[in-house]
Structure 1
Amino acid sequence: MIRLKLQTLIGSGGSADVFRLAGGRVLKLYREGLDPGVIAREHDGVRHAVDQGLHVARAFGTRDHGDRSGIVFEELVGKPLLRLPVLRPFRTRALLRRFADYQARIHLCGAAGLPHHQHDIIHVRIEQAEVGEQLRTAALERLHAIPRGDRFCHGDYHPGNVILTRAGIAAIDWSNASAGDPAGDVARTELLFRYAGYGPSLRNVPPLRHIRAMTADFYLRQYRESTGLSDAAIDAWRLPMAVASLVPGSRVHRPTLIAALERQGFSV
């Protein structure tokens, strides 16, 4: 097998690095020791997204590089939505509408043929969460009281996983893609808006936390207006998703999320 020539590191996250290749392609190279099932889930998710007509980076197959495994993707040219222009509220709202509408488009797709299910993924994470047994049991009971859905779900949809290209919005990182309930996908996105990526500024400047909360509220309102999804359906998922986010290595800010759970009467 010909060894791939990695040109430039263009992105890095908790589970993988992304390198530019020749010919308008990139290699997403996963870290050693990552569960191979995660890689298979992303490959399956991207292929399903393409089959459903969604705008995504097409996958060209899996490749190994040294001791690491990866997937070769089409390179998307555009800008990430990670840094929403919070000081330009009208621009922010327009982007959030497009962000919510793309997620709603994902949820219109069926998930027939996908071997992975949202309930199973969240169940495993709740079992792995660093919480007390009483809270774990409560989260599992609520999870399994929700019917297993059959819609296509991204599983980790947030502005850091969305690229704005000339052809429109495109989602990346489909490693959590599954068949499931759109309300669970929305609850996960809301949670990330409120509690993920807490740096010193968010911890020390209360107005910035207020802006984050307003952003989450606007996103939810836009999604619900465009789909008719009830807040009760989303609320059923909030505890399972919160507990599932308290796993080791989570990018969710644990103290802030725990404080929110305790205000609701839960003991972590």
Structure 2
Amino acid sequence: MMLGPRIAEGSSCEVYEWDGPDKIIKLFHADTPPHAVRLEYGNHEAAWASGLPVPRPYEQVKWEDRLGIVFERVAGDTLVSRLFARLNAQEPMDAELRLLADVLHRIHKMSPPGIITDQKANLKGIISRPPGLIPEEITALHAYLDRLPAKRQLCQGDANPNNLLIREADGEAVMIDWMHASLGNPAADVAEVCVMLEYAVLPPETPAAAKRFFEETREAAYRLFIGEYCRLSGMSEAEIREWYVPLAARAIASGAIPEEQAARLASMIRERLQATKSEG
């Protein structure tokens, strides 16, 4: 087997072409625990076997002391790149957001065997030390999460639009990155997208006209996405917004968002935790 050119990089891995143009390897950083790699492979295999729109997983491998997973290569754009193309052209993002709502709804209807992670336990692990929150706030955050309605439906666990690819050959949507797949409440996946739409700070290199257009259409984009998901699923907007607090903390803990956005989210978390305390 031969390692080809690097084609992408993430927080925990690098992605390379593998043994020709039709496969890729997700090669994890050396400090990634082996159990995390096995978990992602098992989750992905379960999703593939159930017929969900995911790349085919082939095998787990080791390359120069680094663990990796070999997948089918999906040539195409990420949904994020499609969204930014719309912003740069100052066009509504309606089609892309409807597609994301539809894919999430399809995922949430499935119950593949092999997904064993508990959603709340996984979220607690991720948000155990979010930057900018003091220990007392983290304790309150975990208590808040404990009170949220628990379910046992399939959740993707990382519904970032960067994880949705649009296949070039046929236009089909394909969801990648299943490390955090779990059994729980689908409102969490939807809340992750809503938090992004409501609180996102665009990269500094974004053209000024695109930034203005985003601010002008942000509310309409949120309304379209949440309205489409609620129409498909029967879930209410209130059920989804209940999950903003832990999903905002997850975004902060990722370390992948701008400082201004993290500060906005931390402020929202504090306000909602205080409101919950006052109601209690």
TM beyond 0.5: yes
1:41 equivalent to 2:39? Answer: yes
CA gap 1:28/1:265 in 2 versus in 1, 3 angstroms: closer
CA-to-aligned-CA distance 1:209-237 (integer Å, 9 cap, x gap): 44445433321121112211112211221
Structure 1 unmatched ranges of 5 or more? none
Choose from 188, 211, 226 the match for 1:220: 226
Which residue of structure 2 lines up, in the alignment, with residue 54 of structure 1? 52
Q: What is the SS of the residue equivalent to 1:8?
A: strand
Q: TM-score, normalised by structure 1?
A: 0.87
CA gap 1:14/1:207 in 2 versus in 1, 3 angstroms: same
Moved more, 18-27 or 32-41: 32-41
Query: Quick one: distance in 1 between partners of 2:37 and 2:221?
Result: 31
Offset at residue 22 of structure 1 (A): 2.8
Query: Quick one: distance in 1 between partners of 2:266 and 2:206?
Result: 16
Which residue of structure 1 lines up, in the alignment, with residue 139 of structure 2? 137
Offset at residue 206 of structure 1 (A): 5.4
CA gap 1:107/1:136 in 2 versus in 1, 3 angstroms: same
Choose from 88, 91, 111 the match for 1:89: 91
Which residue of structure 2 lines up, in the alignment, with residue 6 of structure 1? 3
Aligned residues: 263
Could you tell me which amino acid in structure 1 is paired with residue 268 of structure 2?
A
Query: Quick one: distance in 1 between partners of 2:161 and 2:137?
Result: 29
Q: What is the SS of the residue equivalent to 2:15?
A: strand
1:243 equivalent to 2:249? Answer: yes
Could you tell me which amino acid in structure 2 is paired with residue 192 of structure 1?
M
Choose from 154, 164, 167 the match for 2:166: 164
CA gap 1:195/1:28 in 2 versus in 1, 3 angstroms: farther
Which residue of structure 2 lines up, in the alignment, with residue 109 of structure 1? 110
Offset at residue 72 of structure 1 (A): 0.2
Query: Quick one: distance in 2 between partners of 1:150 and 1:111?
Result: 11
Which residue of structure 2 lines up, in the alignment, with residue 20 of structure 1? 17
Could you tell me which amino acid in structure 1 is paired with residue 75 of structure 2?
V
CA gap 1:263/1:82 in 2 versus in 1, 3 angstroms: same
Q: What is the SS of the residue equivalent to 1:32?
A: coil
1:173 equivalent to 2:171? Answer: no
Offset at residue 189 of structure 1 (A): 2.1
**Structure 2 counterparts to residues 115-126 of structure 1, below 5 A:** 115-126=116-127
Which residue of structure 1 lines up, in the alignment, with residue 189 of structure 2? 185
**Structure 2 counterparts to residues 191-206 of structure 1, below 5 A:** 191-195=195-199, 198-201=202-205, 205=211
Structure 2 unmatched ranges of 5 or more? 276-280
CA gap 1:248/1:146 in 2 versus in 1, 3 angstroms: closer
Q: CA RMSD in A?
A: 2.5
Which residue of structure 1 lines up, in the alignment, with residue 278 of structure 2? none
CA gap 1:158/1:243 in 2 versus in 1, 3 angstroms: closer
Which residue of structure 2 lines up, in the alignment, with residue 258 of structure 1? 266
Query: Quick one: distance in 1 between partners of 2:201 and 2:59?
Result: 31
Query: Quick one: distance in 1 between partners of 2:266 and 2:215?
Result: 16
Whether the aligned pair in 1 keeps the contact of 2:152 and 2:184 (CA below 8 Å) is yes
Query: Quick one: distance in 1 between partners of 2:256 and 2:146?
Result: 23
CA gap 1:196/1:203 in 2 versus in 1, 3 angstroms: farther
Query: Quick one: distance in 1 between partners of 2:71 and 2:44?
Result: 10
Could you tell me which amino acid in structure 1 is paired with residue 262 of structure 2?
R
Q: What is the SS of the residue equivalent to 2:123?
A: helix
Could you tell me which amino acid in structure 2 is paired with residue 81 of structure 1?
L
Query: Quick one: distance in 1 between partners of 2:193 and 2:136?
Result: 25
Query: Quick one: distance in 2 between partners of 1:214 and 1:94?
Result: 13
Q: What is the SS of the residue equivalent to 2:6?
A: strand
Q: What is the SS of the residue equivalent to 1:186?
A: helix
Query: Quick one: distance in 1 between partners of 2:127 and 2:226?
Result: 24
